[in-house]
Amino acid sequence: MTPRERWLVLFSGEKPDRIPTDYWATDEVTNRLLRELRCSDLEALYDKLHIDGVTRVEPPRLKNHPPDDPEADIWGVRKRKMDYGAGIYEEFETHPLAAITTVEQVYEFKWPSADDHDYEYYRTKIKSVPRHRTIRSGDFEPYLIYCSMRGLEQALMDVREHPDILAAALECIFNYYYDLNRRIYEIGKGIIDVSYIAEDLGGQTGLLMGLEDIRRFILPNQKRMADLGRSYGVHIFYHTDGDVREVIPDLISVTGIELLNPIQWRCPSMNREQLVHDFGDRIIFHGAMDNQHTLPFGTVDEVRAEVLENIRIFAPARWICAPCHNLQPITPTQNIITMYETIHEHGRL
């Protein structure tokens, strides 16, 4: 089977010739692997490590900044590069909605427009992309954007203190993405395989907000966006970090997710066997290779043992082997190679 066929067989409810794999990593890790494994590009790296990775295609923005701030992104947020020794992350530096106090001010904000994208370029690109890999296009992660615009602490407090402001801003963000994704799906109809819907709902030991709050502020718009994708035959890839066992039934029944990423099984309620028992007949599991301890700090033997353990645990279900979030620069190259070599050797179905 081709990498794309392996993914699509899983979405059809069946099992492919072998357990598919995927790749998530920081740019620093990718550049290191390309150099050390002597690969010319990401496709060559996928081939060398037998990775069934996806191809992402999005319409480029024609406008990258608001008209009054050339240093901010389209949401009016400035970012600062933070060097942590092994690599660089961007942190939110400004919060353009931090001082607002009314819903009227939310609607007065200069929100980005879906018109500000190059759809002709996208049309050419999406129709020329090789079809042996799963094609991903379109995304939606509104509360993360709201946190960047409002400030994390205030965004969390708004659930209780300013729910009207939170709801209004989320609706504005939704409208932008609904229009953008609708155009993407129309142009890429019959080509796009998966779309990315996400919200980090969990911390290390539980949900970041109450389940009823998630049902009120998060799930309804997720369902509307997922329904849009499904109307074009697009499968829903869903990402949420952390300890989220409590909300998975809603993600399945309301949002209608088909794939759950990243399965951080070291969180208290994310026991893999129990997840397979409770949800293995309804969703695909994606990830589950521990990126907090095993991959960065474990030995080669421990990485190999975790792959084999996951093969056993997910045997009754559908699973895509991948790190449970981006591989970090502290992760040894040999551990990464071992993960992919072990699943390739032992993942035949």
In a domain, 84, yes or no: no
Tell me the average pLDDT across 243-268: 98
CA dist list (Å): 47 to 18, 171, 253, 300, 323:
15, 42, 37, 21, 18
Is the pLDDT at 300 greater than 90, yes or no?
A: yes
Rounded Cα distance between 154 and 174, Å, is 20
Q: What is the pTM of this model?
A: 0.96
44: Cα separation from own chain's centroid: 23
In a domain, 315, yes or no: yes
The structural domain count of the chain equals: 1
In a domain, 167, yes or no: no
Tell me the average pLDDT across 12-16: 95
- Which two structure tokens, joined as six digits, stand for 215? 């049902």
Rounded Cα distance between 163 and 150, Å, is 13
DSSP state of 307: H
Closest CA to 240 of 272, 206, 274: 206
In a domain, 335, yes or no: yes
Closest CA to 347 of 310, 296, 294: 310
46: Cα separation from own chain's centroid: 19
pLDDT tens-digit series, residues 145-161: 999 999 999 999 999 99
pLDDT for position 272: 98
How much of the chain, in percent, has pLDDT values that exceed 70? Answer: 100
Tell me the average pLDDT across 315-328: 97
In a domain, 130, yes or no: no
Is the pLDDT at 74 greater than 90, yes or no?
A: yes
Tell me the average pLDDT across 107-120: 97
pLDDT for position 86: 82
The neighbouring-strand residues paired with 56 are: 136
Is the pLDDT at 189 greater than 90, yes or no?
A: yes
In a domain, 19, yes or no: yes
Task: Show contacts of 295-301: CB within 8 Å, 24+ apart.
Answer: 295/323, 295/327, 295/331, 295/335, 295/336, 295/339, 296/328, 296/330, 296/331, 296/332, 296/335, 297/330, 298/335, 300/334, 300/335, 300/338
Rounded Cα distance between 48 and 165, Å, is 49
pLDDT for position 85: 86
pLDDT tens-digit series, residues 159-185: 999 999 999 999 999 999 999 999 999
pLDDT for position 87: 85
Counting every residue written for the chain, the total comes to: 349
DSSP state of 188: T
Is the pLDDT at 84 greater than 90, yes or no?
A: no
pLDDT for position 224: 98
Domain span at residue 320 reads 1-54+247-263+271-291+300-349
In a domain, 20, yes or no: yes
In a domain, 14, yes or no: yes
Is the pLDDT at 340 greater than 90, yes or no?
A: yes
